[in-house]
A and B are shown apart, each in its own frame.
Chain A
């Protein structure tokens, strides 16, 4: 039984419910790697964001004109995101796995390989989060979480790397949580206009036969909520089709 989200929120509030109770999003499939696989298993999960309302678009356009820099539809303050994962080692021998968490906001996607022009000489920058070696016992499993503060930092780092023009090494290897604004092309992007991740790109590498399952947990603070009420079942025409560009740094001056 489905009711319009604004009625749900009003009724739920009347009953004492929290308007930003978590919502869980499942990927289409789990990620599986076999022992000896060199290429990582990858998956992408896009948040089912509803279409922008006219009044929201107008407000955003006004603010964009005031600031002189594009204000995103989905800001970091709108969503608290976390990603829970479980790795199962299907091999009797213990092994090591790594999860690389990358993603995109509505403007840019972070692709570490795009920063490397000479693979012989240059090091691939780290992912937005993850890349920690995880020891998994033989036939055992291990669970973990990319917590909300970590993914908020990942959203901020993506803004710093793309619109802020910072080196991914500088942005990702330091904690930037206290950043109040980002200077971008002569304009200042205030903290409440930092874009949120709206897409997760996961890569899973392991030296044994392992399976990674994950769930994205979203607490949506926008009223009305940004997530479409039907989530994965939503008709595509009722979802915002973001088209973030893979960010590539400007070539160095000769």
Chain B
């Protein structure tokens, strides 16, 4: 999805109209996103890609740096040797976020990273040794980046972003995901 819209966004940014600075708020922000996440390596063999929903909030400390937090939920179908069959698990993530970026006209580009905790709703992946039988929590580390389009209203922007994440206590499971989001800055 990101690749589909990226050329259009870059064209907008490069156009004479797009190069004109567009007013954008700086300060406290809130963001809601919808996307999809899939695991890599052993994780991809035992769980299917699934939808992800996240809420972020924080503060633009400067126009180019933001600090905040995110809560995210992912849903995945487990794909383990039966039994059990047809089971799902959810990942609940909570993390502190930092974002660095710059703006060219209406378009901003950014890189972000976060550190936090992930909670897995079931131990269904214990069957394939991705988690220990009673293991539910893992530290998480994620990094990513994206592009953001500033709407005419200075409070609103929407964007597309990608993210890589590692869950160290879940056998180092790694995932990649993409999301579309709407951001409101006060």
Which B68-127 residues have a C-beta within 8 angstroms of A?
71, 73, 82-85, 87, 90, 92, 94, 119, 121-124, 126-127
Closest CB in chain B relative to A218 CB, distance in Å = 10
> A143 with B82: in contact, given A15-B73, A26-B127, A228-B134 (CB under 8 Å)?
yes
> A15 with B133: in contact, given A1-B138, A85-B83, A215-B127 (CB under 8 Å)?
no
A230 to B139, CA, bound (A): 18
A102 to B158, CA, bound (A): 58
> A215 with B139: in contact, given A12-B92, A17-B92, A26-B126 (CB under 8 Å)?
no
A51 to B83, CA, bound (A): 29
- The reply on B31 being an interface residue by CB < 8 A is no
B-contacting 9-mer, from A53-61, A132-140, A162-170, A231-239: A231-239
Q: Are B133 and A232 in contact (CB under 8 A)?
A: yes
Selected from B90, B123, B137, the residue in CB contact (under 8 A) with A1 is B137
Q: Are A17 and B90 in contact (CB under 8 A)?
A: yes
- Considering the complex, give the chain A residue whose CB is closest to the CB of B90: A17
Q: Are A22 and B122 in contact (CB under 8 A)?
A: yes
> A16 with B92: in contact, given A24-B124, A213-B83 (CB under 8 Å)?
yes
Selected from A12, A23, A86, the residue in CB contact (under 8 A) with B123 is A23
User: How many residues of A sit at the interface, in one of the four size bands?
Assistant: 20 to 34
A213 to B136, CA, bound (A): 24
Chain B interface residue count, CB cutoff 8 Å, equals 26
Q: Which of B84, B121, B169 has the most CB of A within 10 A?
A: B84
For B139, list chain A residues within 8 Å (CB).
1
Q: Are B84 and A24 in contact (CB under 8 A)?
A: yes
- Considering the complex, give the chain B residue whose CB is closest to the CB of A82: B84
Closest CB in chain B relative to A20 CB, distance in Å = 10
Selected from A2, A21, A217, the residue in CB contact (under 8 A) with B84 is A217
- Considering the complex, give the chain A residue whose CB is closest to the CB of B136: A8
Which B117-152 residues have a C-beta within 8 angstroms of A?
119, 121-124, 126-127, 132-139
Q: Are A229 and B92 in contact (CB under 8 A)?
A: no
For B127, list chain A residues within 8 Å (CB).
24, 26, 215
For A84, list chain B residues within 8 Å (CB).
82-85
**16 additional contacts, CB 8 Å, given A8-B137, A213-B83?**
A1-B135, A2-B135, A2-B136, A11-B94, A11-B119, A15-B94, A23-B123, A24-B123, A26-B126, A84-B85, A143-B85, A215-B84, A228-B134, A230-B132, A231-B134, A233-B132
Closest CB in chain A relative to B92 CB, distance in Å = 4
Closest CB in chain A relative to B140 CB, distance in Å = 11
- The reply on A174 being an interface residue by CB < 8 A is no
For A215, list chain B residues within 8 Å (CB).
83-84, 127
> A233 with B133: in contact, given A15-B71, A217-B84 (CB under 8 Å)?
yes
Which A1-48 residues have a C-beta within 8 angstroms of B?
1-3, 8, 11-12, 15-18, 21-26
Closest CB in chain B relative to A127 CB, distance in Å = 19
Closest CB in chain B relative to A109 CB, distance in Å = 24
Closest CB in chain B relative to A176 CB, distance in Å = 27
Main secondary structure of the interface of A (DSSP, over half): mixed
Q: Can you list 14 residue pairs at the A/B interface with Cβ under 8 Å?
A: A15-B71, A15-B73, A15-B92, A22-B122, A24-B123, A24-B124, A24-B126, A25-B133, A84-B84, A143-B83, A215-B83, A229-B134, A230-B133, A233-B134
- The reply on A73 being an interface residue by CB < 8 A is no
For B136, list chain A residues within 8 Å (CB).
2-3, 8
Closest CB in chain B relative to A5 CB, distance in Å = 9
Closest CB in chain A relative to B174 CB, distance in Å = 17
Q: Are B119 and A17 in contact (CB under 8 A)?
A: yes
- Considering the complex, give the chain B residue whose CB is closest to the CB of A25: B133
For A16, list chain B residues within 8 Å (CB).
73, 92
- The reply on A110 being an interface residue by CB < 8 A is no
- The reply on A214 being an interface residue by CB < 8 A is yes
A86 to B83, CA, bound (A): 6
> A17 with B124: in contact, given A2-B137, A232-B133 (CB under 8 Å)?
no
For B121, list chain A residues within 8 Å (CB).
12, 17-18, 21
